[in-house]
Amino acid sequence: MPAIAQSIFVPAGALGLLLLAGCNMQVEPLGPPRTETRTIELDKSEMVQVELKMGAGDLSVRGGSSNLMDGEFTFNRPSMKPEVHYDASGFRGHLRIEEPSGVHSNAGKYRWDVRLNDEKPVDLRVDFGAGEGRLDIGSMNLRSVAIHMGVGELRLDLRGTPKSNYSVDMRGGVGEATVYLPREVGIMARAKGGIGGINARGLEKRGDEYVNNAYGHSKVTVDLDIRGGIGAINLIGD
């Protein structure tokens, strides 16, 4: 997977130790996996801020919902059921999905599958402690994207035909990040990695910046700022 930011990946066993060390967490017996769904209907808000906060697990985010959000959540412990909040004031809506605090364990199955609307303008923020993240969000009407990841692997797919400029800010720690970039719009990526380096395909390097052939010619530009720690950052622009 290509590009990302300041946090990234570690082996599962080591990850569990990191998460549990020094923390007082509620422990429940593991039960069979259960899946629950949640839907937030579209309203008259002109734009929406979406915040996703997962401590550790398997996170999938994509477009394609006819509602504001359709979510499917799988977990082994009742206390791990995600908290979903939505409110709208004035022209802006605010959707927040978060893992309950103080209850996570490295055992069991924990997965979120979140589908968001493609038409509603969205500011998306993802705080992801550890695990595997797949964000296929190129079809959405993005205003901004911010991703903070600690330990894990991230696949961010921005391929699509955005109608307006937007920014992407990525911070990763330990792991690998792969970013798939749209080809028909301008791309300006500032990327810095620690151990692991930066691999860019279909982009031209100019100092610490990477640009594609459409940059400076397209009416729409996607601006990326990516910082990694330990692990590869892969930018794929072809």
Cβ(73)–Cβ(114) below 8 Å? no
* Residue 68 in this model has a pLDDT that exceeds 60: yes
Who's near 155: CB < 8 A, 6+ residues apart? 1, 133, 134, 135, 177, 178, 180
Output the CA torsion 123→35→38→127 (10° steps): -20
Tokens 């930066």: give the residue.
198
pLDDT in tens, 156-167: 999 999 999 999
pLDDT in tens, 194-233: 677 889 999 999 887 999 999 999 999 999 999 888 888 9
What are the b/e assignments for 95-111, b being 16+ CB within 10 Å? Answer: bbbebeeebbbbebbbb
pLDDT in tens, 40-58: 999 999 999 999 999 999 9
Give CA angle at 112 (108, 118), nearest 5°. 170
Rounded CA gap, 204 and 222, in Å? 15
pLDDT at residue 89, rounded to an integer:
84
| Total-model pTM | 0.85
Q: Mean pLDDT score of the chain, rounded to an integer?
A: 87
